[in-house]
């Protein structure tokens, strides 16, 4: 006779004690924590990359803006120098009229050398303005052509006139040297330069 048949051991108790208990699943908190850390790290890296790209883009834009401003300043200076060369030629009739009378030979050499330098400077700016801008070059060429005709004729008359020897004669009236015909050509050159520079000026710098 077995123990079960004798009623000393419960069949249910025997079966439950013989079955092994299943293993518990790992805590869910560790998996969630690792996922959150990965997402946070990815977000931080993405934010840093975007910030670096934005900073680089701003630096490039600022560098280009600085270069554009420097280029515009260079052009303004060069166009002003071209006008200064024209003005130097325009002033030559007055300089010849006011030459010293006590050293006329030296004055002829001095003024001739000064005129030679002015002519060379004009030739340089004639070529430069034409290369820089067809419109500005054309306006400057007309200005130089007119000043060579008008002031050139006044220079010939100044050489033929006796040198000025009194202080009051230093004030040369328009009846002696009249260069008023140059004013429209000066205005045309300045307006053309202004239009050219405005076309090159970015919208943020106007």
Helix/strand/coil (H, E, C) string of 47-104? HHHHHHHHHHHHHHHHHHHHHHHHHHHHHHHHHHHHHHHHHHHHCHHHHHHCCCCCCH
Task: Specify the residue for token string 């993405």.
Answer: 46
Q: What is the pLDDT of residue 77?
A: 94
Please state, as a whole number, how many other Cβ atoms lie within 10 Å of the Cβ of residue 143: 26
Residue-level pLDDT at 9: 46
- Spatial CA neighbour of 164 closest among 109, 106, 95: 95
- Reading the block at residue 29, the tokens are 């908190």
Q: What pLDDT, in 10s, does the model give residues 123-178?
A: 999 999 999 999 999 999 999 999 999 999 999 999 999 998 888 888 899 999 99
What is the signed CA dihedral for 26, 32, 33, 35, rounded to 10 degrees? 120
- Lowest-confidence pick of 20-24, 45-49, 87-91, 168-172: 20-24
95: tokens are 């300089």
pLDDT band at 19; cut points 50, 70, 90: very low
Q: What is the pLDDT of residue 6?
A: 44
**What are the sequence ranges of the domains in the chain?**
79-205
Evaluate if residue 66 carries a pLDDT over 90.
Answer: no
Query: What integer pLDDT is reported at residue 166 of this predicted model?
Result: 87
Mean pLDDT, rounded, of the chain: 80
43 vs 130 pLDDT, higher one: 130
pLDDT tens by residue, 172-187: 999 999 999 999 999 9
Provide the 8-state DSSP code for 121: H
Closest CA to 177 of 147, 145, 138: 147
What pTM did the predictor assign?
0.68
Return the higher-pLDDT residue of 56 and 201: 201
């Amino acid at each position: 006779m077995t123990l079960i048949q004798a009623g000393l051991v419960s069949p249910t108790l025997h079966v439950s004690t013989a079955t092994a208990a299943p293993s518990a699943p790992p805590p869910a908190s560790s998996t969630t924590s690792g996922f959150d850390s990965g997402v946070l790290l990815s977000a931080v890296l993405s934010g840093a990359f975007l910030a670096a790209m934005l900073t680089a883009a701003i630096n490039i834009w600022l560098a280009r803006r600085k270069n554009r401003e420097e280029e515009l300043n260079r052009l303004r200076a060069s166009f002003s120098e071209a006008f200064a060369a024209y003005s130097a030629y325009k002033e030559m009739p007055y300089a010849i009229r006011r030459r010293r009378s006590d050293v006329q030979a030296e004055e002829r050499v001095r003024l001739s050398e000064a005129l030679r330098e002015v002519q060379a400077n004009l030739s340089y700016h004639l070529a430069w303005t034409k290369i820089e801008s067809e419109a500005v070059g054309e306006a400057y060429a007309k200005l130089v052509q007119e000043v060579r005709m008008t002031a050139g004729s006044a220079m010939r008359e100044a050489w033929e006139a006796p040198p000025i020897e009194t202080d009051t004669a230093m004030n040369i009236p328009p009846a002696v040297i009249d260069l008023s015909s140059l004013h429209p050509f000066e205005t045309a050159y300045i307006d053309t330069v202004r239009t050219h520079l405005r076309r090159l000026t970015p919208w943020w710098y106007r």
